C-alpha cells in the first residue's frame, strides 16, 4: 500500500485531503476505498455529495460490500445532499459560520457521539459546487470553516474538485491546494510522472528537460503535501507557460493511453 493509499484508508486527525479529477469513476474508486475502510474500522461517517455521485458511490460501494442503507439505519452513516445543504449554508452568496455550525459542525459531533470508540471520517463536495459556479472565494471560505472544525473535532476529511490538472488552470488553484494537508495523486502507479517525462523530453529536448528537473523538484507548497508529478505540472504552468500547454496535452494523452493499456 502506497503512502497515498494509506492516507485514504487511515486518515489521521486533521488530515484534510483533496482529489482533483476529470472522471467520476476515478473519484468513486477512492471514495469507496475511504468509506470501506471506515466501515471495517467501525468509524461513523458523513457524506455530503450530489445525488448523482451518491448513486455512483452506492453502486460501487455495494460491490465492495458496503451496505449504505444498513449503515444509515444503524446511525453509522449520515448522508447529506450537497446542493441542498450548500443552499441552506449561504448568506449573500457566502458560507455563513453560524449556519455551518448548525448544518455541519453539529452533525459531525452527532457522528462523534455515535462512533462508540471508533473514529469519524467525512467526505464533502460542496466546495466543488461553489468552484464550478465560478465562486472560488466562497469555496476557499468554506474550506477555512472546515479547517477550523478539524482543529477541534480531529477527524479525517476528504473533499474533491472536478478539475483536470493537466487541462484546467485557474489562478486560485494554488490557494485551494494550500487549504488542504494533502493532494491525492492523479495516478498512484507513477503513470503521470512517466507521461510527463516523455512529454517534456519530446517538447523541450532531453538535455533541456534534464536541466530543468532540479528546479521542478525544488517546487514546494506551504502546508500541503503535493506528489512530485503533480507539483511538476503546477510548476510548468507557472514557470514555463509558453510550453506548458503542449507538454501537458501530450502528458494527458500518454497517461490516458497508459491507463487504457494497463
Contacts of 47 (CB under 8 A, 6+ apart): 35, 54, 57, 77, 78, 79, 80, 122, 123, 124
What are the residue ranges in the chain where pLDDT is below 70? 1-2, 259-262
pLDDT of residue 148: 95
CB 125 within 8 A of CB 82: yes
Stretch (H or E) spanning 81: strand 77-81
Tracing cell 478539524 back to the chain, one arrives at 150
Stretch (H or E) spanning 175: helix 173-177
User: At CA 233, angle to CA 232 and CA 238, rounded to 5?
Assistant: 95
Tracing cell 517525462 back to the chain, one arrives at 197
C-alpha span between 157 and 120 (Å, rounded): 9
Stretch (H or E) spanning 94: strand 94-95
pLDDT of residue 2: 61
Domains and CATH numbers, the chain: 3-183 (3.40.50.300), 191-261 (no CATH)
pLDDT of residue 219: 77
pLDDT of residue 261: 53
C-alpha span between 185 and 169 (Å, rounded): 17
pLDDT of residue 199: 95
| pLDDT tens-place string over residues 126-173 | 999 999 999 999 999 999 999 999 999 989 999 999 999 998 777 788
| Residue 85 three-state SS | helix
C-alpha span between 25 and 166 (Å, rounded): 17
Taking phi over 0 as left and psi of -120 to 50 as alpha, with beta for the rest, 121 belongs to: beta
Q: Which of 147, 132, 133, 142 is nearest to 20 (CA)?
A: 132
Q: What is the dihedral of CA 204, 241, 218, 189, to 10 degrees?
A: -70
Q: Which residues of 56-70 are buried (b: 16+ CB within 10 A; e: fewer)?
A: bbbebbeeeebebee
Amino acid at each position: 500500500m502506497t503512502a497515498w493509499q494509506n492516507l485514504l484508508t487511515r486518515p489521521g486527525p486533521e488530515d484534510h485531503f483533496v482529489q482533483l479529477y476529470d472522471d467520476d469513476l476515478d473519484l468513486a474508486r477512492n471514495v469507496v476505498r475511504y468509506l470501506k475502510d471506515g466501515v471495517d474500522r467501525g468509524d461513523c461517517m458523513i457524506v455530503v455529495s450530489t445525488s448523482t455521485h451518491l448513486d455512483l458511490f452506492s453502486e460501487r460501494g455495494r460491490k465492495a460490500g458496503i451496505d449504505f442503507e444498513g449503515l444509515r439505519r444503524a446511525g453509522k452513516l449520515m448522508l447529506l445532499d450537497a446542493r441542498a445543504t450548500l443552499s441552506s449554508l449561504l448568506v449573500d452568496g457566502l458560507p455563513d459560520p453560524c449556519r455551518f455550525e448548525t448544518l455541519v459542525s453539529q452533525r459531525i459531533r452527532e457522528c462523534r457521539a455515535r462512533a462508540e470508540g471508533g473514529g469519524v471520517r467525512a467526505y464533502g463536495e460542496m466546495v466543488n459546487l461553489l468552484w464550478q459556479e465560478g465562486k472560488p472565494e466562497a469555496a476557499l471560505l468554506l474550506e477555512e470553516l472546515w479547517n477550523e472544525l478539524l482543529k477541534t473535532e480531529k477527524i479525517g476529511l476528504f473533499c474533491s474538485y472536478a478539475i483536470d490538472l493537466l487541462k484546467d488552470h485557474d489562478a486560485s488553484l494554488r490557494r485551494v491546494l494550500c487549504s488542504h494537508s494533502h493532494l491525492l495523486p492523479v495516478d498512484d502507479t507513477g503513470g503521470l510522472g512517466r507521461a510527463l517525462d516523455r512529454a517534456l523530453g519530446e517538447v523541450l529536448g532531453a538535455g533541456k528537460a534534464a536541466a530543468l528537473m532540479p528546479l521542478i523538484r525544488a517546487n514546494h507548497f506551504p502546508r500541503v503535501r503535493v506528489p512530485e508529478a503533480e507539483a511538476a505540472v503546477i510548476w510548468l504552468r507557472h514557470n514555463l507557460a509558453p510550453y506548458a500547454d503542449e507538454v501537458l496535452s501530450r502528458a494527458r494523452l500518454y497517461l490516458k493511453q497508459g491507463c487504457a493499456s494497463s
